[in-house]
Structure 1
Amino acid sequence: MKKTLALVLCLVALPAAAHGGHAGASGLVAGLAHPFTGIDHLLAMLGVGIWSGRQKQRWTLPLCFLLMMALGALAQGAAVLSEPAVLASALLVGALLLAKVRLPAGAAIALVAGCALLHGQAHGSELPGLATAAGYLGSCALLLLAGRGLGGMRSGACPVPARAIR
């Protein structure tokens, strides 16, 4: 059931789901809201976070994703390729999760860096101003951390250690 749901979510990650209608939206609030406005963002950020927990690279992969996404935004890639690239990266992360793939550290970092660079290039032209970019990166960090938390949990496990409840 979980695999079916994950596959369905990957398939509905339409390339333009999160990238339409943002022209003119700027400022911290617009940046904070942007990652929550499309399924492709949610799948990519949560997926990388979950995968980082499973890869045992709990902080390296999310931090790498944020850094490379920021660098990609500065590069502002070709608009023609950015939407399909974002979709492809979300599907790739979903496939890695479904297949329970574990890669060597260097390969995992390179893969996440490439996906993040594509996401950053897609968003570079959509983030007018520093406040918008800061909000966007902040929300992406929260989604990555949420996914990271989910990826570190085992089925049926309580996320809070028993000694912390006493």
Structure 2
Amino acid sequence: MKKTLTALTLATASGAAFAHTGDSAHTHGFLAGFMHPFTGLDHLLAMLAVGAWSVRQPNAQWLPATFIGMLLIGMASGALGLHIPGLETGIALTVALMGVLLVAATRLPAAAGTVMVSVFAILHGNAHGQELPQAVSAGGLLAASLLLVYGGNLLARVSPALAVKASGVAIAATGVMLTATA
């Protein structure tokens, strides 16, 4: 466990790997959209963390689906040209907060959890929508996001609580680093 945590810490300390770099190199095709969430540590960790955190929440079965639905709305807003002020910082803060929620094993009332996850998804979706405005790319991004959110959910179901908390520490630390560099 110590080696795994050390490796994860070193990997995340290598620098901020934002998926939304502002270039247009990733605007073509399903595969580009599918790979997009895997190329940015902020999006990758946020989606895995939302899935993992949702396991122990009231109405947990709805949180991953809510995240994906609101991600789509956020993507549409980005594709239509809506620019959210402080977007990079907001996204980094979602990673930090999700990590803290995992570490503390925080349970929120269903409505509060749903609103929080929805806001997080809109932020992440808006960034993706600005970079992947094509519908076919958006389809790939949604498919990958489904895998990540439900993958995080599955991992939390089969992992010991201590492992989930340890991953929360790494996610929170990464979120703090990303916030500092946003």
Smaller-chain TM-score range? 0.7 to 0.9
In structure 1, the partner of 2:130 is 125
In structure 2, the partner of 1:93 is 98
3-state SS in 2 of match to 1:106:
helix
Q: How does 1:78-89 map to 2 (within 5 A)?
A: 78=83, 80-89=85-94
TM-score using structure 2 length: 0.74
In structure 2, what is the Cα distance between the partners aligned to 1:14 and 1:84?
15
Contact 1:16–1:83 (CA under 8 A) maintained in structure 2? no
Q: How does 1:11-50 map to 2 (within 5 A)?
A: 12=13, 17-20=18-21, 22-25=23-26, 26-50=28-52
Which of 67, 70, 73 is the matching residue for 1:68?
70
In structure 1, the partner of 2:56 is 54
In structure 2, give the amino acid aligned to 1:34.
Answer: H
1:83: Cα distance to partner?
A: 1.2
Is the counterpart of residue 153 in structure 1 residue 154 in structure 2? Answer: no
Structure 1 alignment gaps of length 5 or more: 157-166
1:45: Cα distance to partner?
A: 0.6
Residues 143/124 of structure 1: CA separation in 2 closer, same or farther (3 Å cut): same
In structure 2, the partner of 1:112 is 117
TM-score using structure 1 length: 0.81
Contact 1:14–1:40 (CA under 8 A) maintained in structure 2? no
In structure 2, what is the Cα distance between the partners aligned to 1:100 and 1:57?
16
Structure 2 alignment gaps of length 5 or more: 162-182
In structure 1, give the amino acid aligned to 2:129.
Answer: G
- How many residue pairs align between the two structures? 154
Hey, which bits of structure 1, 4+ residues long, moved more than 4 A? Answer: 5-9, 11-16
In structure 2, what is the Cα distance between the partners aligned to 1:124 and 1:14?
24
3-state SS in 2 of match to 1:92:
helix
Percent of aligned pairs sharing the same letter? 42
1:63: Cα distance to partner?
A: 0.5
In structure 1, what is the Cα distance between the partners aligned to 2:15 and 2:74?
21
